[in-house]
Amino acid sequence: MNRDNRPWGPTPAPALTWTESGEPYSSSFDDLYYSREDGMAESRHVFLAGNRLPERWQAHGDTDFRIAETGFGTGLNFLLGWQAWRREPGTRPRLHYVAVEKFPMTREELSRALASWPELTPLAQALLQAWPGRLPGQHRLLFDEGQVVLDLWWEDAGEAFADLARQGPLFDAWYLDGFAPARNESMWQPALFHSMAALSRPGATVATFTAAGDVRRGLAAAGFQMTRVPGFGRKRESLAGHIDRPAAGAPCRETPWDLPDHPADKPQSALVVGAGLAGCLLAKALAERGVRVQLLDRGSLAGEASGNEQGILYTRLSRKHSALTDFALQSFSHAARLYRHHFASGTLQAGEDGALCGSFHQQADQAELALMSDALEELGELAQVLDAGMAEEKLGAQPALGGYWFPGSGWLRPPAVCRAMLASPLIELREHCGPLALAADQGRWRAVDETGNTIASAQIAVLCTGTGSTAFDATRYLPLQSIRGQTSYLPATGASRRLRAAFCHKGYISPAREGVHCIGASFKLRDNSVQIRAAEHRENVDKLASALPQWADDLARLDPGTMAGRVGFRCASPDYLPVAGPVPRRTDFLHTYGALRKNAKQLIDSRGDYMRGLYINTAHGSRGLSSAPLCAELLASMICREPPPLSSELSRALSPARFLIRDLARNRV
């Protein structure tokens, strides 16, 4: 699913019309989205009863139960499954639902379709609030404090499940719910059925509304034991079945260097080293999965790069797809949903800990803006192109140039975000540990202090140590950069108090918090000084004056020598993407893939050599508020052997082993 260099824009729209009685209807496939007789009853009969849910949940031997659906449509099947899960008494497994949809609805279309089911209104409203619209890619939505996970893949079903099948068995139940086979053949192909068989955990079930012979024979050929069962309403029969054991996956089409050779079982305990945004968000994601976390820091919580008073929920747009653009947008969308939830629940306080008040990003390339305007026309919930005059209405100040308005963005106080993520009783924070080393011993990882004492141990360890990541032997090879950044504290004035949203230019400024704006930040490579410099205060102020000319006179009167601020050090990678994944065993890894030095495109059918139980999550640069939440979900899913929230293309783009692969391809190692 490599989209590199393809034009960026929204996913294809469904050819949607509405019947006189209000049902959604696909003109492209000449079919209704659900039964005219009783859509809810049909879904319960075919998919819940057909997969023997919810009774299987009570006897399920794992901590989570995973459902995969072909064709999300209106989301009715998901909502009914969620409703049934909520009604289950006593202990129940975590519910993980993955749906693939090539033609997703807009929020307005989805709202209209779900209005027919008042019984589902509370759940439907939660889904609508989290809805990602038609932003391309994969989207992870979290409900019920992370105990219900919905992964939406806006992709072709055959391609998406083939991509997921690289991971091995993942799912316990299948909902086959594309439009009728005679009208949408691509959703009912043998290749898809074989991917399903490879993705099925032992005893996985399948159910579908159709009784078509080609479907039954195709599933049987893939390894499912299929039977005809009574259909719903006037439909005489439908199909249900199961598979005893997963089938072998398809042959590798590319070298699987990103997949560990010996994937570990889900751990019960974890060490997370580094209590900044990356570490705190990962601790939360692991705790939601029942993993006990010891969160260790050499200093204090959010004491390093995550300690700034204000930061912007930032992303980037581009006319072309790339791993950088796609990850930036998908992680931004995910982060905005997460923070919106925490403001709504009260774990973050609006005005004190931040505000999702929108942000305006000034752009120097006005030709680029004109070209992007069309691409964003159907993605207004993500971003809009505004000229300087229109931006003033949103911002409360007139920028020098036009740019992008991101209505779901805003500002946050990173230390407050870190603190809010640690509410779980499964997380123990230990500050002021001093410099730490890691050692592996008898299947566990130990954190060792300067005196050689073991201060904590667990089954796995994750380095979330920013610029300190290369201090560890296993990750010393990583080509990480430390970038000095100085922020400046600007007292609010009459003009600046009218600022209603966050503003990004060559620097940034947010609405004042407690009468002070945090502006910045400088960008200094190969500079390790921690001293506050008046020259960098002046640099920050001058960039703001250039971006907001009407403030220039007031800003010129400031004395940089008396201004307060803070110095932090961003950790960045050469390709500006984070580093998130298992840590390779460097020498063995290079040996396994050494032939790539002579032919970088050849297929080597061997999984990667990785250190058991050791992971890393770093290099978030200046975008940690946006990138760290999704990287936490990615790592937690890897660690717990769950369906990933990203395609293999994006997961590989974040892998710490990518640098070894690139160096091999360039014959540098």
List, for residues 414-438, the tens digit of each pLDDT value: 999 999 999 999 999 999 999 999 9
> Running DSSP on this structure, what letter comes out for residue 469?
G
Task: Please answer whether residues 536 and 380 qualify as being in contact, where contact means their C-beta atoms are separated by less than 8 angstroms.
Answer: no
CB 410 within 8 A of CB 394: no
For the chain, the distance separating the N- and C-terminal CA atoms, rounded to the nearest angstrom, is 29
CATH of the domain at 646: 3.50.50.60
Query: Does residue 157 sit in the same domain as residue 297?
Result: no
**Whole-number Å distance between alpha carbons of 574 and 572:** 7
Closest alpha carbon to 205 in 346, 60, 342, 89: 60
Residue 215 within any structural domain of the chain: yes
Question: What pLDDT, on the 0 to 100 scale, is given for residue 327?
Answer: 98
Cis, bond preceding 492 (omega within 30 deg of 0): no
Determine, yes or no, domain membership for 352.
Answer: no
Do 210 and 281 belong together in one domain?
no
Looking at the fold, whether 214 and 284 belong to one and the same domain comes out as: no
* pLDDT recorded at residue 36: 76
pLDDT digits (tens, 9 = 90+) for 350-382: 999 999 999 999 999 988 999 999 999 999 999
226 in any annotated domain: yes
Does 233 share its domain with 273?
no
Q: Tell me, what's the pLDDT at 178?
A: 85
Q: Which of 530, 523, 490, 493 is nearest to 506 (CA)?
A: 523
- What sign does the dihedral 341-344-346-352 (CA atoms) show? positive
pLDDT for position 508: 97
Residues 203 and 293 in one domain: no
Q: Are residues 145 and 274 in the same domain?
A: no
Query: How many domains does the chain contain in total?
Result: 2
Position 639 in a domain: yes
User: Which residue reads 């709504």 in tokens?
Assistant: 344
Same domain, 653 and 583: yes
Burial pattern 526-544, b for ≥16 Cβ within 10 A else e, equals eeeeeebbeebbbbbbbbb
Residues 276 and 156 in one domain: no
Enumerate long-range contacts of 594-600, CB under 8 Å, 24 or more apart. 594/664, 596/255, 596/661, 596/664, 596/665, 597/664, 597/665, 597/667, 600/664, 600/665
Number of other residues whose CB lies within 10 A of the CB of residue 424:
17
The pLDDT of residue 180 is 85
Same structural domain, 53 and 151:
yes
CATH of the domain at 226: 3.40.50.150
pLDDT at 233: 84
- Specify whether 295 is located in the same domain as 189: no
The pLDDT assigned to 264 comes to 85
- pLDDT value of position 127: 98
455 burial class (0-12, 13-18, 19+ CB within 10 angstroms)? middle
373 in any annotated domain:
no
Structural tokens at position 31: 């079919």
Specify if 405 maps to a domain.
no
Closest CA to 241 of 216, 264, 263, 262: 216
Helix (H) or strand (E) holding 113: helix 107-114
111: number of CA atoms within 13 Å, CB side?
10
Domain of 583, in residue numbers: 269-305+416-480+574-666
Residue 319 lies in a domain: no
Segments of 592-661 assigned E as strands: 610-618
Residue 303: predicted pLDDT: 94
Asked if residue 610 belongs to a domain, the reply is yes
Q: What is the DSSP letter of 90?
A: S
| Domain identity same for 156 and 296 | no
The label of the residue with tokens 């922020």 reads: 487
Where the chain has pLDDT below 50, the residues are none
Residues 128 and 221 in one domain: yes
Q: How far apart are CA 591 and CA 576, in angstroms?
A: 27
* Cα–Cα distance, 314 to 388 (Å, whole number): 19
